[in-house]
């Protein structure tokens, strides 16, 4: 009971969060999962459950897909992530994580305070810089969503377009990462019951998130995304102090 209840509850909460904000399931789930299982397996459960969530959201709002932009930013994102994974064990990540967390915190506070005037410009520089930084941070700290969410928020006009296309990015990354995990023996048969429970819980959270998101005004979505970026920054700092 002490294992399954927190696993299901935190994954359910992750499903609600990501369905409403576009990202955040990994952030929520990784607060608890590493206390229930080894961190590499926690990351696998988190990633597989998140992949199922992304897939169902993509299918539900498939008419909102505009994948050309997703594939353009996916290239630098995955290159940066894969290259960083080759060296991450040799890098002192604690100080870098604190700096990155502080950057996210300051950036989110800026957007929250000046939400009516603050906008990210989508151009050649941001389409390379944001995915590269996000890919590196995903490989090093397990946090790849905050900067990408800010960029997608500016790129797409409606909540459905923003969320669906962001989920496409996350789904592709999840498939690639979990193929690598499976090849390295991280995803094992004893882990399958936990994966199944997490998938069921995150999809239940999705249903609740869709109900709540349907009542959300665009301005509230923006503020929720900014707040989630702030939470990401603060948690990153606290986990590495």
Helix axes 146-155, 93-113, angle to 10 degrees: 30
Characterize 44-60 residue by residue with b for buried, 16 or more Cβ atoms within 10 angstroms of its Cβ, and e for exposed: bbbbbbbbbbbbbbbee
Residue pointed to by tokens 């199922």: 52
The pLDDT of residue 118: 58
Q: Which among 10, 5, 4, 11 is positioned nearest to 202, based on CA atoms?
A: 11
Q: Which pLDDT tens digits describe the chain residue by residue (241 residues)?
A: 589 999 999 999 999 989 988 888 887 888 888 889 887 788 889 889 999 999 999 999 999 999 999 999 999 998 988 887 777 556 666 777 787 788 778 877 877 776 565 577 888 888 999 899 888 877 766 667 778 888 898 899 888 999 999 999 989 988 887 888 888 788 889 999 999 999 999 999 999 999 988 887 777 777 787 888 788 788 878 877 7
The pLDDT of residue 238: 85
Residues 170 and 173: their CA atoms lie apart, in Å, by 5
Residues 82 and 131: their CA atoms lie apart, in Å, by 12
Structure tokens at 213: 């998101």
Q: Are 76 and 135 in contact (CB under 8 A)?
A: yes
Q: What separation, in Å, do the N-terminal and C-terminal C-alpha atoms of the chain show?
A: 32
The pLDDT of residue 116: 60
Task: Establish how many alpha carbons lie within 13 A of residue 33's alpha carbon, considering only the half-sphere containing its beta carbon.
Answer: 27
The pLDDT of residue 120: 75
With a threshold of 0.95, does the pTM exceed it?
A: no
Structure tokens at 27: 């952030």
Count the residues in the chain: 241
The pLDDT of residue 92: 64
């Amino acid at each position: 009971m002490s294992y399954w209840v927190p696993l299901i509850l935190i994954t359910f909460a992750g499903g609600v969060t990501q369905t409403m904000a576009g990202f955040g399931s990994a952030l929520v789930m990784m607060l608890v999962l590493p206390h229930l299982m080894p961190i590499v397996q926690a990351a696998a459960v988190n990633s597989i459950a998140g992949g199922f969530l992304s897939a169902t959201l993509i299918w539900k709002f498939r008419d909102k897909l505009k994948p050309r932009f997703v594939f353009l930013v996916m290239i630098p994102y995955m290159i940066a992530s894969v290259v960083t994974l080759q060296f991450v064990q040799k890098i002192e990540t604690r100080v870098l994580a604190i700096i990155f967390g502080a950057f996210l915190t300051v950036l989110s506070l800026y957007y929250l305070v000046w939400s009516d005037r603050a906008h990210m410009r989508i151009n050649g520089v941001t389409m390379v810089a944001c995915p590269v930084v996000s890919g590196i941070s995903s490989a090093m700290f397990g946090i790849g969503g905050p900067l990408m969410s800010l960029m997608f928020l500016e790129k797409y006009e409606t909540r459905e377009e923003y969320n669906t296309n962001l989920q496409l990015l996350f789904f592709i990354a999840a498939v690639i990462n979990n193929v690598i995990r499976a090849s390295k023996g991280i995803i094992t048969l004893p882990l399958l019951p936990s994966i199944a429970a997490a998938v069921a819980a995150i999809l239940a959270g999705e249903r609740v998130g869709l109900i709540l998101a349907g009542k959300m005004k665009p301005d509230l979505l923006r503020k929720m995304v900014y707040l989630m970026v702030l939470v990401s920054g603060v948690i990153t700092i606290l986990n590495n102090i």
